[in-house]
Amino acid sequence: MFNKLILSLALVFTTLFAEIDFQKAMIYKADINSTTAYNMQKEGTLIVDVRTKREFNTLRAKNSINIPVFYEKNGQRVFNKNFPNEIYKTLNGDINKDVILICRSGSRTKLASNLLAYQGFKNVYNIKNGFQYDWTKVNLPTEK
């Protein structure tokens, strides 16, 4: 399963970024911890959970929304090609608006953050260690 995920990510990178000059590519704003993210959320910043719907519906950061970077299909994770568009629409077309991404451990958000930065989003924050290894460890609010 893990090897298939790594292979899938490699294929996504190869397909999406085949013509990118990585020296010139934008990177996302910053890696942050969950406490910083929670404080930003209290000030009005949106937290987007990029995990699958199943994961999101199990337990999530309170008041977060779900826009999966991968869908589950027939037991496999499939890249959501509409991910940047869905974020764009959610932010009402404002690519300068702050947005925080969270996943289970921080790996999917790293991919998603870089993808959004490359698409022109200016203020994308990645919760470095994710929901399982940071948010829940410091007992921040959750909901089902």
What CATH number corresponds to the domain at position 66? Answer: 3.40.250.10
pLDDT digits (tens, 9 = 90+) for 108-123: 999 999 999 999 999 9
Share of the chain above pLDDT 90, in %: 73
Domain extent, residue 111, equals: 2-143
What residue type is 135 in one-letter code? W
Q: Is the pTM of this model over 0.95?
A: no
At residue 61, the 3 state secondary structure works out as strand
Total domains in the chain come to 1
Confidence of residue 24 (pLDDT cuts 50, 70, 90): very low
